[in-house]
Amino acid sequence: MKQGFKILERNDCYEDFIKYREQGSIRGKYLGFPILHEYFTISLPGVTDVTGFPQSGKSELWIEFLLNTTLFYGWRHILYVPDVGDKNEILAIIIHKITGKTFDKRFVNSNYISEIEATNELDWVLENFKILHKEDLSAKLTPYEFWNMAAQMNKESLDKKESGYQTATIDSWKDMQHGIGLNGEGFARDDKYLEDVLSYRNAMSEKHKMHFATIIHPKSGTEKDKDGNRKPPRPDDLKGGSEWWNNGKTMITVHRPEGQANKVQFIVTKAKPKTVAKQGQCELFFDFKLNKFYWENNGVQTFASKNYVKPIGISMSDDIDDGDDDIPF
């Protein structure tokens, strides 16, 4: 038998299998938006890849999902998100979502956060969001190193009888050091590297019961529709698209239609496992003053809440252009 593998035996699986039966098939957490709950939840373990053009709202929406899991369920998160901004910008985005108060001095006479308000939230945010940032600008980090670090932080927290860390997010993929394997080996082809690194991510998520998320920009120049507007990017539009398709679990596009200031399309292009997500799409809107997303429930602006509210008079769509033949059954 090859080292590192073995045939599954009863002692290897019995306890986990019985627990699985008691809990039922894996289902993720409700994220506060009834309109998208049918299509997407965040599960443990789980993997989500999020794409979208720059300024589409993908990072803002993902951070809001994470914040809601903290407010609703006490989850904690590990972030390496240099694409979002420096450490102060990242903290400001999260605190703005919590308080509804901006750090933009253009609104100093209306909605500008006070020093007391900012300070009161800072310790809570730093306790629940472990934000990795560069002290040395020449430092490099591979995806393997990030996921290993996240898993180790989770283990150390659990060993201390703490709550651990439930998620780890990379934003964005371009900010990582690529082409180097787990043991420092090189790859002659990008597709072989992606196959290895994404498979490793999936295995680490399963092993450590964590949710790993990756924000990745699409290649420029995607197709336009009959009206000349950019079509929402799909996994095919990512560099190495076939490997993202093959190794991705749940894959999401956040797309802001041209000419729309605050509306985004939330599109699930791949859903695995099928109990966690479902292919389809819905619409969300962004409130710039509060820095939060909302959905329209029968014409009423409704922000995320832990309490599920059944949508009224809303038609949600399962009709997406599905180019994936990886059928989940």
pLDDT in tens, 103-156: 998 888 889 999 999 999 999 999 999 999 999 989 999 999 999 999 999 999
Are residues 268 and 277 in contact, defined by beta-carbon separation less than 8 angstroms?
yes
Provide the whole-model pTM: 0.89
Question: Going by C-beta distance under 8 Å and a sequence separation of 6 or more, which residues neighbour residue 252?
Answer: 40, 48, 49, 50, 51, 58, 266, 267, 268, 269
Checking if the pLDDT of 323 tops 50, the result is no
Go through the domains of the chain in sequence order and give each one's CATH number: 45-303 (3.40.50.300)
Checking if the pLDDT of 327 tops 50, the result is no
pLDDT in tens, 80-108: 999 999 999 999 999 999 999 999 988 88
Count the Cβ atoms, other than its own, within 10 Å of residue 127: 10
pLDDT in tens, 207-239: 999 999 999 999 876 678 887 788 899 998 998
Q: What value does the mean pLDDT take over residues 43-55?
A: 95
